[in-house]
Amino acid sequence: MSSQINLKSDTSWLTAFNIYLNRRVLAMFFLGFSAGLPFPLVFSTLSTWLRQIGISKTVIGFFAWIGITYSIKIIWAPIVDRMPLPVITKLLGPRRSWMLVAQAGIIAGLLGMAWTDPAQHITAMALFALLVAFSSATQDIVIDAYRIEAVKEEYQGAMAATYQAGWRVAAALVAGAAALYISNYFSWTVAYIVMAAFMAVGIITVLLISEPDRTIGEQTYLQEQRVVDFLESTAHIPDVLRIPVAWFIGAVICPFTEFFQRNSNSALFVLLFIGIYRISDIVLGNMTHPFYIDMGFSVIEIANIAKIFGVVMTLLGAFVGGLLVVRYGILRVLLLGAILVSITNLMFALLADNGHSITGLAIVLSSDNFSGGLASTAFIAYLSSLTNRAYTATQYALFSSIMTLGPKFISGFSGVVIDAQGYIFFFGYAAALGLPAIFMVLYLMKQQKPDGN
């Protein structure tokens, strides 16, 4: 495992800046916007709506399990990667057709949520939110694949940067702050209808961009030789049985076995680390908005501080994290991020103890968003270093699924913990959940060779 980053010292600042003028790089901002918009609408923004109308914290906590949809997308990622859609794939190509279908599902789910009264039909609200989450996770799969295939390797950093910028703008400023403003001055129904309309950004982008060229490298052919071997050795079995199995081997088994072969004895530890690193952050995030409501903050105060101000601090943390990764390597910044996230969780406990305070909320959220942005940048860099380009889409889906599956399941019990022990205990509990990640990073640093390879 390597934490080195190779820089091209002969690349001028003007040349580097011009990368961001590439049409596909610019398009990733709008695809990132489309990917970021649905996320808070089934989590933080939705939990604010539910808590404001008196839904119990226990029920709100259970809504976190909708996020498991993002964590199990590896199950259908190979289908999105390889299965054409009737008619529309011939018109748009495989990547753009799947994007468009996923965006249509998001719009349908958001409109269903808008026209549902959660006080009377909480189950229907959960089902519509599940449709949004499933469609959003599907869109994530295909956008990740498009990002990898659309440009050459040296453009990938710029693609990731514009994608994350679009994601943050949509998630924090539009689906976060703007949705809260609209709900305050109009209604939650109007807010969710407007959010559904904003998905037009993604649809227009899909119609304007071109389908990427897909190339399969020699390494992929060698891996998928197993499919050919299987077909040859099972010629006596009916095609209706052996062809689906052969497809499963090539689409699912080969990316998994390649990762385990490359990482050998450390593979299981790495996967465990991926599943643990963000647990403290995700468990905390599920109940922050109900906490704000219970502390007496208005939705306008939440929008002003948690969304508008918070996104600035997140982007600042991400920028600083990127600089530190270049300067000190991935693992050291991973360690710093894990420590800062646990410390800022404890700061929430202090806020809960001191009571309603705009200044206190601003300080805590500044620290929390900065540390989250820094830790996320380092973690994305780490996941990227683990991925084989021949299987980037499937392996990245695997990593992102593992990254959120355990934390999302545990966060479903957040409301139960709060109802039983209170917010101060919960924030201390969330901070303690970050300790294993700190010790695991220290172990990875110990195992790393002195030369960084």
Residue 159 lies in a domain: yes
Residue 290 lies in a domain: yes
Q: Supply the CATH number for residue 429's domain.
A: 1.20.1250.20
Q: Which domain does 369 fall in, by range?
A: 257-453
Element (H, E) at 305: none
| Residues 173 and 31 both lie in one domain | yes
Residue 324 lies in a domain: yes
Q: What pLDDT, on the 0 to 100 scale, is given for residue 453?
A: 41
| Residues 277 and 145 both lie in one domain | no
Number of domains in the chain: 2
| Residues 145 and 276 both lie in one domain | no
Per-residue pLDDT of the chain (453 residues; tens, 9 = 90+): 443 334 344 444 455 556 667 788 889 889 999 999 999 999 889 998 998 888 888 888 888 788 888 878 888 887 887 788 999 999 999 889 999 999 999 999 999 999 999 999 999 999 999 999 999 999 999 998 888 778 765 566 567 667 877 888 898 889 988 998 899 999 999 999 999 999 999 999 999 999 887 665 555 555 555 555 555 556 556 656 666 666 666 666 777 777 887 887 888 999 999 999 988 888 887 788 788 888 888 878 877 776 667 778 877 887 777 667 767 778 898 999 999 999 998 999 998 888 778 888 888 888 888 998 888 877 877 876 777 766 766 777 788 878 877 887 887 788 888 888 888 998 899 899 999 999 999 999 888 754 444
Q: Which of 386, 143, 144 is nearest to 263 (CA)?
A: 386
Q: Please tell me the total number of residues recorded for the chain in this structure.
A: 453
| Residues 206 and 311 both lie in one domain | no
Residue 123 lies in a domain: yes
Q: Are 73 and 397 in contact (CB under 8 A)?
A: yes
pTM (whole model) above 0.75:
no
| Residues 272 and 417 both lie in one domain | yes
User: Which two structure tokens, joined as six digits, stand for 84?
Assistant: 């054409």
Q: What pLDDT, on the 0 to 100 scale, is given for residue 2?
A: 41
Of the candidates 215, 249, 270, which is a domain's last residue?
Answer: 215
| Residues 196 and 297 both lie in one domain | no
| Residues 115 and 171 both lie in one domain | yes
Residue 10 lies in a domain: no
Residue 100 lies in a domain: yes
Alpha helices (H) in 209-309, listed in sequence order: 218-223, 225-233, 239-248, 254-263, 267-277, 279-285, 288-294, 299-301
Of the candidates 215, 241, 269, which is a domain's last residue?
Answer: 215
| Residues 305 and 388 both lie in one domain | yes
| Residues 200 and 116 both lie in one domain | yes
Residue 307 lies in a domain: yes
Q: What pLDDT, on the 0 to 100 scale, is given for residue 198?
A: 98
Query: Per residue in 128-163, is it b (16+ CB within 10 Å) or e — as a string?
Result: bbbbbbbbbbbbbbbbbbbbbebbeeebbbbbbbbb
| Residues 211 and 73 both lie in one domain | yes
d(CA 411, CA 192): 25
| Residues 370 and 268 both lie in one domain | yes
Residue 79 lies in a domain: yes
